[in-house]
């Protein structure tokens, strides 16, 4: 964790939070409504709004409403989800505790829509048990729609999440740099197992994932054979010159160009 904190840029984010949008969906049997309690705790310190959602349509309607509200603004916004979750997504519960499930991929598309439509990258927080799978929230060769993503990697207690997130947002609002903020929250609220990834770190994670999937020696050889098969199916054969060019096109030096294209698209 110390090594991770050292890789973060201290000036990743500073200044006043314009607004925190808190979206909650918990079971009726959950004794602590942590999203609501966080909202109450933030009142008077940071502008926030609270809404309880019960299903997918209600959730996406609220996200669309947030998009409309912040359109045209240049402020710093947080969208905070307080719910149950796992490595595949989050659960939403209605008044009868009927479950609706939203996969991480669905979130990614929604946040991408926010960014491509109004060009604002909000901070996204997932206060949910096992509910943080950052690699499913970013995609290769797509613009990054997040300024920072926060979450927890384990099952978290409600009270710890309220206090920990309040501390994180309060620190953020008072100009505490990101590495110190993360370290403070993790030290004071260890059961939260809090982590936050800024865009520059998300880029490195996305690139490493892309390399593993597309630029490994095995994958490059597989791609080469696929291209050769396509050429042969069209032309009947492949020349030595064509094969040499193919080796060049799939070489590490050309892979570096992939990196630059990947980076340009990520930050576009």
pLDDT value at 218 more than 80: no
CB 168 within 8 A of CB 17: no
146 contacts 77 by C-beta, under 8 angstroms: no
The string of pLDDT tens digits covering residues 33-66 is 999 999 999 999 999 999 999 999 999 999 999 9
Confidence of residue 154 (pLDDT cuts 50, 70, 90): confident
* Residue 6 confidence (pLDDT): 46
Q: What is the pLDDT of residue 137?
A: 75
pLDDT digits (tens, 9 = 90+) for 109-147: 888 888 878 788 889 998 876 556 666 777 777 778 888
Taking the domains of the chain in order of start, what are their residue ranges? 2-207, 215-266
Domain 2-207 has CATH 3.40.50.1460: yes
Closest Cα to residue 17, out of 202, 176, 162? 176
CA dist 207 and 179 (Å) reads: 22
Encode pLDDT of 7-27 as tens digits. 555 445 556 899 999 999 999
**Which of the four pLDDT bands, split at 50, 70 and 90, describes residue 74?**
confident
CB-based contacts of 33: which residues, under 8 Å, 6+ apart? 24, 26
């Amino acid at each position: 964790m110390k090594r991770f904190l050292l890789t973060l840029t201290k000036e990743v984010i500073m200044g006043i939070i314009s607004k925190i949008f808190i979206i909650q969906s918990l079971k009726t049997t959950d004794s602590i409504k942590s999203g609501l309690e966080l909202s109450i705790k933030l009142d008077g310190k940071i502008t926030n709004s609270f809404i309880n959602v019960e299903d997918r349509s209600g959730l996406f309607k609220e996200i669309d409403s947030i998009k409309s509200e912040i359109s045209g603004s240049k402020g710093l916004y947080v969208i905070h989800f307080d719910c149950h979750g796992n490595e595949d997504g989050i659960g939403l519960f209605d008044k009868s505790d009927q479950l609706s499930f939203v996969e991480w991929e669905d979130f990614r598309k929604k946040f991408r829509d926010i960014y491509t439509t109004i060009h604002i990258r909000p901070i996204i927080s997932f206060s949910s048990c096992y509910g943080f799978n950052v690699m499913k929230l970013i995609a290769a060769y797509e613009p990054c729609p997040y300024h920072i993503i926060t979450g927890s990697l384990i099952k978290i207690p409600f009270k710890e999440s309220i206090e920990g997130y309040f501390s994180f947002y309060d620190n953020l609002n008072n100009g505490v740099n990101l590495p110190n903020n993360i370290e403070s929250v993790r030290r004071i609220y260890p059961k939260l197992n809090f982590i936050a990834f800024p865009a520059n770190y998300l880029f490195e994670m996305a690139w490493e994932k892309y390399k593993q999937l597309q630029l490994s020696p095995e994958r490059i050889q597989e791609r080469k054979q696929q291209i050769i098969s396509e050429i042969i199916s069209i032309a009947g054969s492949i020349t030595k010159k064509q094969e040499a060019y193919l080796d060049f096109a799939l070489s590490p030096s050309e892979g570096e160009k992939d990196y630059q294209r990947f980076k340009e698209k990520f930050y576009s």
